[in-house]
Amino acid sequence: MKKMMIPKNLKIDNLIGRYSTNKIEGFHLDKVYFICFSIYQMMMYLDEHQKYPGKDKCYYVPLQASILKKHLGNKYTKIVNWMKKAGIIQTDKSWQNSVTSKGFRLTDKYLGSGKKWVTVTYEPFLKRKKRIERINNWPLEKRVVGMLQKWFDTGALKIDVAAADNELKKYKQQELDAQKKANRIKVQVRYMSRMSAVYSLSEKRYNIVQDSYGYRVHTPLTQLKKELRCFVTYNNEKLVQLDIKNSQLFFMCYLLNEDNWKIKGANREKKSNIWKSINSHREGQNNTISNTIMFPDSAKSLTGECFQKNEFVKNACEGSLYESIVSAYYNAQDEVIGRKEVKQVLLGQIFCNPDRDKYFFFGKNSRTWECFQTLYPDVATIIDTIKRHNHKYMSMLLQRIESTAMLSYVCKNIQKHNKDIPLFTIHDCLVTTINHKMTVEALMINSIEEFTGLKPTLDITYWSSEQLNNEELNKAA
């Protein structure tokens, strides 16, 4: 049963009697409650001085139009206007297209009246609740997720809250300084959102779930801002992170092997999980994506030694794929472009909606994809073929391949080898204590090679203040 928080003295029936809703198509009490509840949620992110700064300048919180439209329908503005007319809410004039959302607040009459919970009856809201529950209860690799939960439950994972807070306040001030007309509320919302992961760790509120999209496991560590990891310890020991270099492109090698598209033979169940819902939603077995995709003749030969010698596979295993594009970009344009920029643009091009996000392929960005196509034409063809079915399939497939490798192979094998090794995951990364680094590194490489047939290159990062200082120096450079 879903509930929402609304002002204690809000009596909708009386207001409807005075302000008619007959001309508002699809009007429902719960839609009014949704807006009130959303305002209350956003208020949680505000500093005390922002909530009540005085009568001359009332505070407002941003509510994105896209979210209101998604939950309330295309005519949501009529509900907003009715609530303004009825004296429930006020809005400001801060809206700027693609810059600032319109600000909302409850009127003084309702703001100080206290709060109460009401039960939702609007069917679309209830259906959404059921969908969320199905995702959170996804059973894939339940034992492994339970094993990961065990290390949180020990209570030995700690974070220096004061240090993390000071670091986030630096970022907050930088954001305010970078924009002359920075939206202070948005900056504050970002700061509080980042701090929420810190509080989850310090207060041992470990909400661990596995989604049904890419089967990724989400924990307070996955939500923690990267720069704050140096403040985390386990049993007062420093931690080390092991992640796969150019991991998304490394796991793309799995898709270059035509046998992996067939749900048969060894590891049939794991293959079936990767393709679940991608194949099943299409009518007829012969109409599934894995049957309709056409491999280029040169890609069909990527088996055995030929597969290992393929240039894309070779660079993916060495962790030098982005560097190869940087080099090709310079040779073609005589321009300098960094690895970070190439990675950001290329992954955007691979995962974006080609109809909506066309800017990824215009101007300077277009050279990145052209270099990729020139260097790895077979891979580019397979990406285009998959995205013609649905652009979301690329991210879904690569996340599922990554999760299968990390959970079904790496974590399982480490647990079998030694159940006393503290282990945490951040999607394609493993985190453990420094004294277990050598063991975890060897088992991680062997386990991924067992699943993909390829040996990855790992990147080692120590969670320490020295690492944070190095990152700050790199940014400054």
Is the Cβ–Cβ distance between 346 and 282 less than 8 Å? no
Please report, as a single letter, which amino acid is at residue 435.
N
In the prediction, which pLDDT does 55 show? 34
- pLDDT at position 167 is 93
Is the overall model pTM greater than 0.85, yes or no?
no
pLDDT of residue 284: 40
Amino acid identity of residue 34, one-letter, is F
In the predicted model, is pLDDT for residue 228 greater than 80? yes
Q: How far apart are the first and last CA of the chain?
A: 53
Q: What integer pLDDT is reported at residue 52 of this predicted model?
A: 42
Is residue 317 predicted with pLDDT exceeding 90?
yes
Pairing of strands 157-159, 232-234: antiparallel
Average of pLDDT values for 142-146? 71
Determine which of 111-115, 279-283, 352-356, 384-388 has the lowest per-residue pLDDT on average: 279-283
pLDDT of residue 33: 93
User: Cα 462 to the chain's mean position, in Å?
Assistant: 23
| pLDDT of amino acid 391 | 85
382 in Cβ contact with 261 (< 8 Å): no
Best-predicted range by mean pLDDT among 160-169, 181-190, 212-221?
A: 160-169
In whole angstroms, give the CA distance from residue 239 to residue 432. 6
In this structure, are residues 46 and 59 in contact, taking their beta carbons and an 8 Å threshold? yes
pLDDT at 283: 38
Check pLDDT > 70 for residue 469: no
Q: Using pLDDT thresholds of 50, 70 and 90, give the confidence band for residue 185.
A: low
Beta strands, E only, 60-150:
61-62, 89-91, 103-106, 115-119
Q: How confident is the model at residue 329 (pLDDT cuts 50, 70, 90)?
A: confident
pLDDT value, residue 260: 74
* CA 51 – CA 185 distance, rounded (Å): 10
Task: Give the pLDDT confidence of 78-119 residue by residue, as tens digits.
Answer: 999 999 999 999 887 655 454 456 778 888 888 877 888 888
Quote the pLDDT of residue 309.
66
| pLDDT given at position 104 | 85
Partnered with residue 458 across adjacent β-strands are 244
User: For the segment 30-70, what is each residue's pLDDT rounded down to a tens digit?
Assistant: 999 999 988 887 776 665 444 443 333 456 787 878 888 88
Average pLDDT over residues 264-290: 54
Exposed / middle / buried, residue 68 (Cβ in 10 Å: 0-12, 13-18, 19+)? buried
Burial degree of 16 (CB within 10 A; 0-12, 13-18, 19+): middle
Looking at residue 384, its pLDDT comes to: 87
- Name the percent of the chain lying above pLDDT 70: 75
Using an 8 Å Cβ cutoff, are 298 and 378 in contact? yes
Report pLDDT for 416: 92
Comparing 179 with 250, the larger pLDDT belongs to 250
What is the C-alpha separation between 412 and 142, in angstroms, rounded? 11
Which pLDDT value is given to residue 278? Answer: 61
Q: How far is CA 120 from the centre of its chain?
A: 28
365 to each of 131, 133, 352, 390, how far by Cα in Å? 37, 40, 13, 22
Return the higher-pLDDT residue of 135 and 78.
78
Q: How far apart are CA 70 and CA 88, in angstroms?
A: 22
Over the chain, what is the mean pLDDT? Answer: 79
Q: What is the pLDDT of residues 420-467, one digit of tens each?
A: 999 999 999 999 999 999 999 999 999 999 998 899 999 999 998 765
pLDDT of residue 449: 93
